[in-house]
Amino acid sequence: MAEPTGYLSIVLHAHLPFIRHPEHDTFLEENWLFEAITDCYIPLLDVFDGLARDGVPWRLTMSVTPTLAAMLTDDLLLERYERHIRGLVELAEREIERTQFDPELHRLAHMYRNRFAHTLHAFTEVHGRNVVAAFRRWQDAGHLEIIASAATHAYMPLMEPSFAGAGTQIKVGIEAYRRAFGRDPRGFWLPECGYTPPLDELLAENGVEWFMAESHALLHAMPRPRYGVHGPIRCPRSNVAVFARDTESSKQVWSATEGYPGDYDYRDFYRDIGFDLDYEYVRPWLKADVRGHTGVKYYRITGPGDDKQLYNPEAATAKAALHAGNFMFNREIQAHHLRHSMDRPPLVVAPYDAELFGHWWFEGPQWLDFLVRKIAYDQTAIQLVTPSDYLARHTENDVAQPSPSSWGYGGYSEVWLNESNDWIYRHLHAAEARLRSLAMQIAEPPPLIRRALTQALRELLLAQSSDWAFIMSAGTHVSYAVRRTQEHLDRCRNLCEQIERGSVDEVRLAEAESRHTVFKWLDYTVLRDRSEVIGNRAVYDTGSVRLATEREPAAAGIATSAEAPVSV
């Protein structure tokens, strides 16, 4: 194959926190999963199916996080989703009836009925209620590279400073990947693109070849990488490759002012009949009887004001095609421009939340479909690759130490560490230390203690999810995020106390196990795994530190956070 002028790597990060509430018949936050299946995952699979059906060559990268994969294979949630989508078909039928005297609305109601009916059919019949297996099929067919992520999407730069907890998140995440996708992952999505040393070393220890990072992980790397973000670097200690987000291509999709999703022809996300119509009429389709999104939205963005015009699907599709062409054209220009100052084809890495496509940006899957087809047939300058493809073609890359960074606001840890959420860390760290200490002490526990240790680990992992800290910071669903954090930490602490006493409440343990079914295969012994990286780091950080004092005290035995001896 001839060398192109440049490469484009589109990375879709699919993630939702683990939300499952069997104790309630319906639960508001479970809707996040249902909306994502309807709006994003099934439409993306439709795009992939269509590309394959038409013989279009394509290479895309995607993460499916362990918590999302667990929910997508959970019988209770799948049953509830099927009930949900059948309800939407019913709602659309009601809308067809209600709008029969308004031809334009009536047409849109039909669009939704057809769409929901198709989704129901695709979910139950085409994919056999197994969306994870559907994605796996495209990886096995050589079109999609699925990458791994941390167990519960923990923001790892703020984990307990020895990074032993980060090591556990990575190990469990990779094991979840193996079980979902039947192979070892090559790439890894660091949750929130949160990087700090020694995460690259922990990834290397677990066989990971590359990970995604934010732009300034490379732009601020030491020494300065010669290709900026347009080629990966390799970390000096681990040799793991790092790919970083290209800001220009990101801006075209994410920007509030310049991004495609804000085009006036696209469907307006906020105008939903769940808010607009009579409460009693829409109530059967609302979660917890609270007004909210049903998924039936009749208006286009139209402009900045509240006066909205009806959605025109054909005009929106035409605009998606136009935007795909524009995106491709800009990548061609970018590739030609960069190629002059590089000794190899530049790489543009464009990572997006998968849930952007179809949910907030209704036409996103169409845009992606057009883009892949146009790249295949309308130009020759750029080529779709995955990061692994790039590494196979370009084995020599700059060696540099990436900068700590994230893709959150501010570019570092501010989103997950501020006055709204900083209280969680002392508890998370204490729980981590206590449970790990117990796990190290108990080598051959009786079955009930083993179950308790494992459930305590499950609770700890769930408490570590970055989503809770984010939600506290964002100010929406705060009480839920606080409650989840407290619940998991409290349950972890209770279990630790029971284990220490040697007396486990089996009834309550079974109740906890049945409520949070994530990682059913989990075993506490993962906490006992030795990490050379972490062992070395503990020595480096605290073991031999000589404290600066005005006059050095003679006494020894000062306590340290890492419980390592300090000579003073």
Partner 1 sequence: MPTHIDGGRSMPSSATTAHELPLTYNHSFLTLLVRDPFCVFAQWEVAKEDRHARGPNGQHSALVLRMYDVHIESPPDGATKQPLPITGLGQFIDFDVSERGSMYIPLAAPGRMLISAIGFHSSEGTDGVAAGFVPIVVSNIAHMPPGQPAAETAPGRAWGFVLNPGPIFGAHPITGRGPFGGVRGSTSSSDFAWK
Closer residue to partner 1 in complex, CB, 44/109: 44
And the tokens for 542?
């605290």
Closest to partner 1 by CB, 2 or 554: 554
- Nearest approach, Cβ of residue 344 and partner 1 (Å): 10
Closest separation in Å from C-beta 281 to partner 1: 25
**Which residue's CB is nearer to partner 1, number 210 or number 407?**
407
Closer to partner 1 by CB, 417 or 460: give it: 417
Contact criterion met (CB below 8 Å) for 468 and 424: yes
Is the Cβ of residue 96 or residue 568 nearer to partner 1 in the bound state? 568
Which H or E run includes 500?
A: helix 478-501
CB of 458 to partner 1, least distance (A): 16
How many angstroms separate the Cα of 228 from the Cα of each of 233, 234, 247, 542? 9, 13, 11, 34
Nearer to partner 1, 39 or 95 (CB): 39
Q: Among all chains, which residue has been given the structure tokens 């790597």?
A: 9
Residue 519 Cβ, how far from partner 1 at the closest point, in Å? 20
Nearest approach, Cβ of 293 to partner 1 (angstroms)? 10
Q: Between residues 221 and 282, which has the closer beta carbon with respect to partner 1?
A: 221
Cα–Cα separations (whole angstroms), residue 143 to 53, 122, 173, 176:
13, 20, 23, 21
Distance CA 498, CA 92 (A): 51
- The DSSP secondary-structure symbol of 163 reads -
Q: How far is the CB of 521 from partner 1 (least distance, A)?
A: 26
User: 450 — phi, psi (to 5°)?
Assistant: -60, -45
Question: Nearest approach, Cβ of 424 to partner 1 (angstroms)?
Answer: 8
What pairs with residue 146 in β-bridges? 62
Residues 6+ apart with CB under 8 A from 209: 186, 187, 240, 241, 388, 391
| 46 vs 459 by CB, closer to partner 1 | 459
**370 touches 321 (CB < 8 A):** yes
**Structural contact between residues 500 and 526, judged by C-beta atoms closer than 8 angstroms:** no
Smaller CB separation from partner 1, 143 or 234: 234
Using only the alpha carbons of the chain, give its radius of gyration: 25
Q: Which is nearer to partner 1, 140 or 490 (CB)?
A: 490
Angle between helical axes of 424-441 and 466-474 (0-180°, round to 10): 170
Tell me how far, at minimum, the Cβ of 453 lies from partner 1, in Å: 20
CB of 310 to partner 1, least distance (A): 23
Residue with tokens 């993460």: 63
Cβ atoms of residues 413 and 158 within 8 Å: yes
Please measure the distance between the N-terminal and C-terminal CA atoms of the chain and give it in whole angstroms: 63
217 neighbors 405 (Cβ within 8 angstroms): yes
User: How far is Cα of residue 410 from the mean position of the Cα atoms in its chain?
Assistant: 19
Shortest approach of partner 1 to residue 476 CB, angstroms? Answer: 6
Q: 4: phi > 0 → left, psi -120 to 50 → alpha, else beta; which?
A: beta
Residue 248 one-letter amino acid: E
Type of residue numbered 373? R
Nearest approach, Cβ of residue 333 and partner 1 (Å): 10
Is residue 505 within a helix (H) or strand (E), and if so which, with residue range?
none
Q: How far is the CB of 43 from partner 1 (least distance, A)?
A: 13
CA angle centred on 112, ends 111 and 118, rounded to 5°: 95
Closer residue to partner 1, CB minimum distance, 206 or 465: 465
137 vs 226 by CB, closer to partner 1:
226
Specify the amino acid at residue 177: Y
Angle at 288 between CA 284 and CA 293, to 5 degrees: 70
Contact 97, 181 (CB under 8 A): no
